[in-house]
Homo-oligomer: A and B are copies of this chain.
Amino acid sequence: MSDINMTIKQAYDLTFSCLRQNGCNEENAAAAAFRLTQAEADMCQAHGLFRLPWYVGGVKSGRVNGSSKPSVKRLAAAVVKVDGDGGFAPLAQQVAHSPLADCARENGIAVLALTNMFHIAAMWPEVEALAEDGLCGIAVTASYPYVAPAGGLRALFGTNPMGFSWPRPDGPPMVFDQASSAIARGEIQIAARDGRQVPFSAGIGPEGQSTTDPEVVLQGAQLGFGGYKGASLAMMVELLAGPLIGEFLSFEAEADDAGLGGPPKGGELMIAIDPARFGDAKEIIAHGETLFQEVLKQEGTRLPGDRRFQSREITRHKGINIPASLYEEIVSLRG
């Protein structure tokens, strides 16, 4: 299958116009197109344009509010709540950034409850944005029931990623964003699409059997990373991004969807910490650098996120590639 090459700007324009033609207002289309394109720019296709037909399906089915107006509320001195008004996550996340950052600067730490929105995708953009503002960021979100609890055989937890960022004085921050599952859902879906196998650690079949067939894992259950410890993290994420903020647990999100398709509804919890309220921020950040230098002294290492920043440099010059079939699907959806 051949690929189509385009610039980041072209990818953005294509995505934006496709969303505009399918029921999104300008703010929502711009925020979502920015996010999907950003994932392509970072060469993370599982969060990129691959998702666009799914997004369009969500608006078309009437589940997602393409004209959402997210609202901001302070629940307590250090608790910010943003209600996404039933729209896509990117607009709500964009609206939430400054209130969260300001609240963290004011109190030293602040927590954000992001609710009532659809498809929280990769979270590195929002934690990266906090670190660009000199803050340390943490983000967690649940999704659909894909991962078996420790000792169990049936999917219950979402792949439940955790994102983390730490500011660096020169260049981009240290950022990671990793699923509690052994591998990301999107990677299994892409392996299935491309006819590739997945490692045994990725998941089990519907009867609990070992398999490397991504289709069988998609029918069965994914597994947590590192065994029961990944499953514990997945449970923590469920509680923080679900009950605590008044949002769905993963299995409830699936029930809410009721087979309509489109991205899952759910919530995200973010924590921002301001190093400047703990001491001299410059010294604190410089101290973090001594750790990074020790890591990079060892052969074979790199910092989490570095590959993504390198990808971003490459795509800025060379553009991105998407499968021709996906390109045609998007063009046809755009009409």
List A residues at the B interface (Cβ < 8 Å): 75-79, 81, 106-111, 113, 136, 148-154, 156, 164, 166, 174, 176, 178, 182, 224-230, 232, 235-236, 238-240, 242-246, 249, 251, 271, 273-275, 277-279, 284-285, 287-288, 290-291, 294-295, 298-302, 304
Residues of B within 8 A of A230 (CB): 225-226, 229
CB-based contact B176/A300 at 8 Å:
no
Residue of B nearest to A274 (CB): B76
Q: What separation, in Å, do the CA atoms of A154 and B298 have in the docked complex?
A: 7
Q: What separation, in Å, do the CA atoms of A219 and B152 have in the docked complex?
A: 36
> 7 A–B contact pairs at CB < 8 A?
A136-B240, A152-B295, A156-B298, A166-B236, A226-B230, A244-B284, A249-B287
CB-based contact A302/B151 at 8 Å:
yes
A129 to chain B, nearest CB (A): 18
Residues of B within 8 A of A271 (CB): 109, 271
A210 to chain B, nearest CB (A): 16
Residues of B within 8 A of A278 (CB): 75, 79, 81, 113, 244-246
Which of A164, A236, A242, A274 gathers the greatest number of chain B CB atoms within 10 Å?
A236
CB-based contact B304/A242 at 8 Å:
no
Pick the contact of A107 from B76, B245, B295 — CB < 8 Å? B76
A288 to chain B, nearest CB (A): 5
Residues of B within 8 A of A75 (CB): 108, 277-278
Q: What separation, in Å, do the CA atoms of A244 and B285 have in the docked complex?
A: 8
CB-based contact B291/A243 at 8 Å:
yes
Residues of B within 8 A of A229 (CB): 178, 225-226, 230
A241 to chain B, nearest CB (A): 12
A78 touching B304 in the complex, CB below 8 Å, given contacts A244-B275, A275-B244, A284-B243: no
